[in-house]
Structure 1
């Protein structure tokens, strides 16, 4: 399932308290989708890394109560009130004894004397066995009590998230140009770094830090791997030589149109971020000079930036002229 479908499924499953397990390779954004679903439902999120726990951590410590009997004091990270999502990340990477300690919490919503409040739901996540991550086979008794969802990457979903997260435009333009590199993970390759939704966010952060030119490539290679870093570095050279967007908007009918597809992707990404009512006539004029597929790309991204642009006369005129490709 793509991330937007996973999020929709969680919005249905969390309110009814049905336990969920998200399966997916490293770096695809499983934890972010859970956080977004919890926020959309207005619920608190408690993120517990099961792999860091010992079996006794969940049950707590024994203490003598006022009645003279031994009672278990649950850990402070377990909720006691309100509504929320208890997220057990990397559950199948935890040792079998820790997974066993989660049985009662997931299946019966209890741990000894502790009871999970009615307004809380359990969501777990982990890598697949074929990903060569540290995993332990999930016991069938536990697996049979959960809804299992397989996580896949999706370019459009990632682009929508990247816009909200304010990732650098050169990063999103490159991934749009080379969508296969959004997530290029092969467990058979012994690579320490590989491109993924997570590591492209790291790349955006690195570019924001403006590292010196002599170390930029090494930083990129250490983040997304050598092959992706080499391609992205070449794309950056194209990006940094693009005509100024203000100059293009100032003379949309005479500004140069790049011939390199990578450069056209780049200029479309940069121009779309300038979308506004006063710039739409220039954007539409420039889009009309681009190859038709890139013109559609530019105008679609402009609408993603500001949906009200669809009501401008400039956009309406461009849409009429290109109705044959918009059907």
Structure 2
């Protein structure tokens, strides 16, 4: 399932308080998706790393009442009636926890209770973990636990990742490169012994490395240590093209005469950079430049511009461009 499908499925399952397990390769963004769903629904989120728990941790500690009766005090990470009315208990890396810890989760997941503790009605349980075939640290999930949840397979998807990246400060050159080489969004082979590999998470790290402004003589080593040697080599080649392009300000100032790249990689890069500056003030210049691009790249530029600012479809400049390119858009 794509990330957007996972979001839709989670919204449906959370509404009926159905426990769910998200399976996916390392680095695809399972934890981030759960956090986004919780934020969008206005729900509290308790992120519990099951691998750090002991079997008795979920039960808590006993205390003696004034009547001499032992009662159990639940751990602070489990919600009580004094906490927000709605929330998500996220059991991350659940299948990396030892079997006894997984077994301790049985009652919480199925019965929404552990001993005397009862999970508040407005709270849901979501779990996630890596697949066994990914060679990550994991234990085979007991069938009794697996049968208590709905299971979703998470697959990386470039369009969904780019939609997220636009609003998350991911650098334009990283987005443009992945449009040009979509296979490298997630290039993970569990049979290889590489410590670093390309994934949605590691490309976010690449963007942060670029934000730090590293010296030119260490850029490749930093990228290699983030997305692996193959991804780093291709990205460095792309960066050399990117850095020779005219600036966005130059294009916006003279869209009729600014250089139009010939190489596909450079065209992807130019469209990505320009789309991030899309607004009602720049749409005239953007449409003028788009008309000089190969038709498929003109459409790419305008599509991304509209994603950046949906009000652009109401402008006269966009209407003129759409009319001229009606055949391509159909």
Q: Give TM class, smaller chain.
A: over 0.9
User: How far apart, in 2, do the equivalents of 1:241 and 1:316 lie?
Assistant: 32
Q: Which of these residues, 223, 227, 251, is aligned with residue 230 of structure 2? A: 227
Any runs of at least 4 consecutive aligned residues in structure 1 with deviations exceeding 3 A, and if so which? none
Q: How many correspondences in the alignment?
A: 327
Alpha-carbon distance, 1:187 to partner:
0.6
7-16 or 85-94: bigger deviation: 7-16
User: How far apart, in 1, do the equivalents of 2:308 and 2:41 lie?
Assistant: 25
User: Structure 1 residue 141 and structure 2 residue 144: aligned?
Assistant: yes
User: How far apart, in 2, do the equivalents of 1:195 and 1:143 lie?
Assistant: 30
Where does residue 43 of structure 2 map in the other structure?
43
Where does residue 99 of structure 2 map in the other structure?
96
User: How far apart, in 1, do the equivalents of 2:34 and 2:11 lie?
Assistant: 10
Q: Secondary structure at the match of 1:56?
A: coil
Q: Alpha-carbon deviations, 1:137-183, whole Å to 9, x = none?
A: 11111111211110011111100100111111111111111100011
User: Structure 1 residue 216 and structure 2 residue 214: aligned?
Assistant: no
Tell me the TM-score normalized by structure 1: 0.98
User: Structure 1 residue 12 and structure 2 residue 27: aligned?
Assistant: no
User: How far apart, in 1, do the equivalents of 2:100 and 2:183 lie?
Assistant: 39
Q: Which runs of 5+ in 1 are unaligned?
A: none
> Residues 47-66 of structure 1 correspond to what in structure 2 (within 5 A)?
47-66=47-66
Where does residue 319 of structure 2 map in the other structure?
316
User: How far apart, in 1, do the equivalents of 2:317 and 2:22 lie?
Assistant: 44
Where does residue 121 of structure 1 map in the other structure?
124
Q: Secondary structure at the match of 2:123?
A: strand
> Residues 231-270 of structure 1 correspond to what in structure 2 (within 5 A)?
231-270=234-273
Tell me the TM-score normalized by structure 2: 0.97
Q: Alpha-carbon deviations, 1:270-306, whole Å to 9, x = none?
A: 1111111121111111111111110000111111111
User: How far apart, in 1, do the equivalents of 2:77 and 2:143 lie?
Assistant: 27
User: How far apart, in 1, do the equivalents of 2:96 and 2:67 lie?
Assistant: 39
Q: Alpha-carbon deviations, 1:72-129, whole Å to 9, x = none?
A: 2111111113210000000001000000010010011111121111110100000111
Alpha-carbon distance, 1:57 to partner:
1.2
Q: Secondary structure at the match of 1:269?
A: helix
Q: Which runs of 5+ in 2 are unaligned?
A: none
Q: Secondary structure at the match of 1:225?
A: helix
Where does residue 204 of structure 1 map in the other structure?
207
User: Structure 1 residue 189 and structure 2 residue 196: aligned?
Assistant: no
User: How far apart, in 1, do the equivalents of 2:243 and 2:116 lie?
Assistant: 62
User: How far apart, in 2, do the equivalents of 1:206 and 1:248 lie?
Assistant: 27
User: Structure 1 residue 275 and structure 2 residue 255: aligned?
Assistant: no
Q: Secondary structure at the match of 2:79?
A: coil
User: Structure 1 residue 300 and structure 2 residue 321: aligned?
Assistant: no
User: How far apart, in 1, do the equivalents of 2:95 and 2:143 lie?
Assistant: 12
Alpha-carbon distance, 1:223 to partner:
0.5
Q: Alpha-carbon deviations, 1:194-231, whole Å to 9, x = none?
A: 01110111111111011111111111110100100111
User: How far apart, in 1, do the equivalents of 2:322 and 2:167 lie?
Assistant: 26
Alpha-carbon distance, 1:246 to partner:
1.3
